[in-house]
Amino acid sequence: MKPEIAVIGGGYAGLACAVALARSGKVRVTVFEAGRVLGGRARVVARPDTPLDNGQHLLIGAYTQTLGLLRSVGVSPTVFESLPLTLAYPDGFLLRAARLPAPLHLAVGILRARGMSWADRRAAARLIRHLRRLDWTVAPDRPVANLLLDAGQTPTMRERVWEPLCVAALNTPVREASAQVFANVLRDSLAAGASASELLIPRVDLSELFPVPATRWLGRRGHTIRTSDPIRGIRLEDGAFWLDGGPTWAGYHQVVVATAPYHAGALLEGFPALGDLTRSLGAMAYQPTITVYLQFESAPPMPCPMMGLTGGPAQWLFDRHQAGGPAGLLAAVISGGGDHEALTHADLELAVQRQIEQAFGRLPKVAWIQTIAEKRATFACTPGLARPANVTAVDGLWLAGDYTRGPYPATIEGAVRSGQAAAGGVLSRLG
């Protein structure tokens, strides 16, 4: 009999963990997911005619573990619309990485950029040089805004490049975001090479992207995925973990808690040895992400699938049609907290519409708008944040999720790496 392992949470971390465990061939895995749909914070949200995600997501070429995992469960790379790193604004500002080896891809991109003065170009090179000289280590960690000051960034570089990149990657505004984590992201994307900085926009919904193929892959190998099956408690008795889920308690050799941090605390409460951990999870702060989907009766003229926006709440606008979606469907993304949080959805939608109109001129008629607000989209990625490890003080009980210790902010890649690391822990304990 193979040891039974339970994974609590069917988000990207939990499923990455389950696939890694299953691949070893040494264990039998059961994934418990509270919701009806797999994917957690990266999932499809049903709308009768058009499947919408709970938020527009963007992946990049540097997501090596995620891309490898997708390939391993049979997902074709054509699920992504991929384009070279492009920061384009409706007023003509354009910074596009050249299809050249690093660091030429960036250097040539900066030289050819439109809307950047020579002072801006020098400032861009200065920040990368500054971080390289520090060997990408910002000690002591500080807000990204201070790093930009230290490296003498111009207003254009701040407003058109670094601030939108920071909030897109860390989901935390520059005045609060960790310069160290931002440096990690720049190191592994911008500075790593043309393919690492490539932008990957999913052409399928986020549940179809990985959770559904992963479930099929796991099912074919005799593992179990149980949706609509929330775990209400964990208890350790006679050397086994007993989970309160489904109709009854069931026993497992090891357990991976792969929920968001705000759900993990309740599951760990029964373990006195984890008091400090549950308190630190309880103290975690979060940042919201809001996506305003606008379905126009005909397609507004967007020259590329993803563009930056200024002068309003949204930072990025995606043309879903250019990434396999219906014609005329746009997704405006508002990452991180700010004044917009005080607005009602109706007022926010008006503000976003006005912002898009200012950018592109008169728009076609809107057929419908749907706003999806994720109040706790990600943990607030602040300087010096202490993040928990995968291993806990209870032997055989593990954590996985985008919030565990690692170089990246709360991202799909962070979640996948964490799931794989937890699986590594489970397997090494089995010897």
Ligand X SMILES: Cc1cc2nc3c(=O)[nH]c(=O)nc-3n(C[C@H](O)[C@H](O)[C@H](O)COP(=O)(O)OP(=O)(O)OC[C@H]3O[C@@H](n4cnc5c(N)ncnc54)[C@H](O)[C@@H]3O)c2cc1C
Judged by the rule CB under 6 A, the positions of this chain that interact with ligand X are: 8-14, 32-35, 40-42, 54-55, 57-59, 230-231, 258-260, 263, 267, 289, 291, 374, 377-378, 401-402, 410-415
Whether omega for the bond prior to residue 77 falls within 30 degrees of 0, making it cis, is no
Q: Considering the complex, what minimum distance in angstroms separates the CB of residue 35 from ligand X? A: 4
CA distance 178 to 181: 5
What residues form DSSP beta bridges with 7?
31, 256
Q: Considering the complex, what minimum distance in angstroms separates the CB of residue 226 from ligand X? A: 9
Q: Considering the complex, what minimum distance in angstroms separates the CB of residue 190 from ligand X? A: 16
Measured from the CB atom, the residue of 131 and 400 that comes closer to ligand X is 400
Measured from the CB atom, the residue of 106 and 400 that comes closer to ligand X is 400
Q: At 346, is the secondary structure helix, strand, or coil? A: helix
Measured from the CB atom, the residue of 151 and 425 that comes closer to ligand X is 425
What secondary structure does DSSP assign to 136-190, as a single string? T--SS--BHHHHHHHTT--HHIIIIIIHHHHHHHHSS-TTTSBHHHHHHHHHHTT
CA distance 249 to 240: 11
Measured from the CB atom, the residue of 19 and 410 that comes closer to ligand X is 410
Nearest to 217 by CA among 38, 395, 431: 38
Cα-only R_g, the chain: 22
How many residues does the structure list for the chain?
431
CA distance 140 to 130: 15
Measured from the CB atom, the residue of 59 and 427 that comes closer to ligand X is 59
Measured from the CB atom, the residue of 62 and 110 that comes closer to ligand X is 62
Whether omega for the bond prior to residue 202 falls within 30 degrees of 0, making it cis, is no
Measured from the CB atom, the residue of 197 and 289 that comes closer to ligand X is 289
Tell me how many degrees the CA angle 148-151-157 measures, rounded to the nearest 5.
55
Q: Considering the complex, what minimum distance in angstroms separates the CB of residue 354 from ligand X? A: 22
Residues 6 or more apart in contact with residue 366 via CB below 8 angstroms: 294, 295, 296, 297, 353
Measured from the CB atom, the residue of 319 and 402 that comes closer to ligand X is 402
Q: Considering the complex, what minimum distance in angstroms separates the CB of residue 114 from ligand X? A: 25
Measured from the CB atom, the residue of 95 and 231 that comes closer to ligand X is 231
3-state helix/strand/coil string of 185-218: HHHHCCCCCCCCCCEEEECCCHHHHCHHHHHHHH
Measured from the CB atom, the residue of 296 and 316 that comes closer to ligand X is 316
- The two beta strands, 306-308 and 240-245, are unpaired
Measured from the CB atom, the residue of 183 and 199 that comes closer to ligand X is 199
Q: Considering the complex, what minimum distance in angstroms separates the CB of residue 347 from ligand X? A: 20
User: Which stretches of 310-365 are assigned E, i.e. beta strand?
Assistant: 316-319, 329-335
Q: Considering the complex, what minimum distance in angstroms separates the CB of residue 411 from ligand X? A: 3
Q: Considering the complex, what minimum distance in angstroms separates the CB of residue 345 from ligand X? A: 15
Q: Considering the complex, what minimum distance in angstroms separates the CB of residue 341 from ligand X? A: 14
Q: Considering the complex, what minimum distance in angstroms separates the CB of residue 423 from ligand X? A: 13
Tokens of 362: 């008169």
Q: Considering the complex, what minimum distance in angstroms separates the CB of residue 431 from ligand X? A: 27
- The two beta strands, 59-60 and 199-202, are antiparallel
Q: Which CB contacts under 8 angstroms, 24+ apart, belong to 365-371?
A: 365/296, 365/297, 366/294, 366/295, 366/296, 366/297, 367/295, 367/296, 367/297, 367/328, 368/295, 369/292, 369/293, 369/294, 369/295, 370/47, 370/52, 370/292, 370/293, 371/290, 371/291, 371/292, 371/293, 371/345
Phi/psi class of residue 2: alpha, beta or left (left: φ > 0; alpha: ψ in -120 to 50)?
beta
CA distance 256 to 5: 8
